[in-house]
Amino acid sequence: MIFERLNGESDEELIYRICGLKDEIGTWSDVADVINELTGNDYGESTYRKKYQAFCRMFESNRNKLQDTSKYVENIDDKIRELERTKIKMRDERRAWNKQNYSDARWQEFTEIFGEQFEDVGSKIFPKTVAPVIDSDNDLFIMLSDMHIGQSFDSYFGKYNVDIAFERLQKYVSEIFTIQKRHNAKIAYVSIQGDLISGVIHKTLMISNDTDSIGQIKIASEYISWFLHQLSQRFEKVVVANVVGNHSRVNFGEKSDTPHNERLDSLIYWIVEKLISDVDNVTFLPNNIDSGISKMIIRNRTFINVHGDYDTFDKMGVGKFVTMFGEIPYAMTFGHMHINEVSNINGIKIIRGGNFAGTGCDYTIEKRLSGEPEQIVCVVNENKGIECYYSVSLV
């Protein structure tokens, strides 16, 4: 048997390795001969035998400690890996933080640059009005839902475009004034229920829209500002709240791919508030809950407004929302499904508003969905709460 010294092997390492092969080599004298030849030493067999046996005793007596050391080393390795993961996580968070700061800075810059311009333009288009003083126990809850500004179609079943949208908005204002006069209503509570624009969330919408998203935002902002200004001339006060809809999300594709709050309905609400800021009797409620949830107190009763893309118009959907919200509202309002509907679930008034477009686009034809453009208005009385509902046809 031929033995060689391993590359970089020390004398102690060589002695331990060769002694460990004693049963294969023969006697301890044979082991000593191999080691002396490889190291150039001239020691007797007892030198190597005793050294090897002493090492083995030392190893056995410290086996547990050595195992603990191994575990300790493994633990250190785990800590190092965890540290590396933490460093990567911190680096990613720092990037996200910088990106958010950049976004916030850009938004602040946008509001500073354009805010005064909107106010200046608004003061010229929507001047201050002298609000009437009305003595009444009645207010109106007015829904403004699913305008889908920018959508355009002309079929056997219906027709819609931005001009028709404004004609229907004018009709809605006229009907609201009729209801106000009938009930001598004092305050108009306007709930903007989302989907103000058609958006570009589906390919069919991109084809059927007659203007891009920027144009849709401009037109929707102008229409809604005009609408609120009209109400301000007849009601003692106009209180406005807003929730976002699914059509205004900023990306094309799945809803789950869009950050929760990135909906253009919020931008429209901000623009409208700037445009009509000179009208003293119009109050815009801040959305302190969530971009998709608003709260209004009408005659000491809580109205919770959502669009409806995250909530279902049934007992389970309302129950889940109330459990999360932690408060039982007097009424809960929805849009999204394009039909007027009222119900009562466990004592909660459930109200769904309609839409402006009606039937006639490819989607409604293919899904066999029929229904006329309509909105809903509620009369809220001091003592009775919701006294009656008006389903307002826009045709």
Q: Which helix (H) or strand (E) holds 107?
A: helix 63-125
Residue ranges for the chain with pLDDT beneath 50: 103, 107, 110, 201, 207
Q: Does one domain contain both 27 and 175?
A: no
- Between CA 335 and CA 348, with CA 232 as vertex, the angle to 5 degrees is 35
Structure token pair of residue 156: 């056997």
Q: Does one domain contain both 169 and 251?
A: yes
CB of 31 within 8 A of CB of 22? Answer: yes
Q: Does one domain contain both 160 and 306?
A: yes
d(CA 198, CA 272): 18
Q: What is the pLDDT of residue 135?
A: 96
Q: Report if residue 358 sits inside a domain.
A: yes
Q: Does one domain contain both 321 and 235?
A: yes
Q: Report if residue 287 sits inside a domain.
A: yes
Q: Report if residue 74 sits inside a domain.
A: no
Q: What is the pLDDT of residue 248?
A: 65
What CATH number does residue 244 fall under? 3.60.21.10
Q: In terms of pTM, does the model score above 0.85?
A: no
Q: Report if residue 92 sits inside a domain.
A: no
Per residue in 311-342, pLDDT tens?
888 899 999 999 999 999 999 999 999 999 99
Q: What is the DSSP string of 49-87?
A: HHHHHHHHHHHHHTHHHHHHHHHHHHHHHHHHHHHHHHH
Q: Report if residue 133 sits inside a domain.
A: yes
30: containing domain: 11-61
Domain boundary among 35, 61, 87: 61
HEC string of 354-386 equals CCCCCCCCHHHHHCCCCCCCEEEEEEEECCCEE
Q: Report if residue 75 sits inside a domain.
A: no
Q: What is the pLDDT of residue 137?
A: 97
The number of distinct structural domains making up the chain is 2
Per residue in 72-101, pLDDT tens?
556 666 666 766 676 676 666 666 556 555
Q: Report if residue 100 sits inside a domain.
A: no
Q: Report if residue 103 sits inside a domain.
A: no
Q: Does one domain contain both 209 and 136?
A: yes
Residue 67 has φ and ψ, to the nearest 5°, of -65, -40
Residue 209 has φ and ψ, to the nearest 5°, of -65, 140
d(CA 64, CA 69): 8
d(CA 351, CA 330): 11
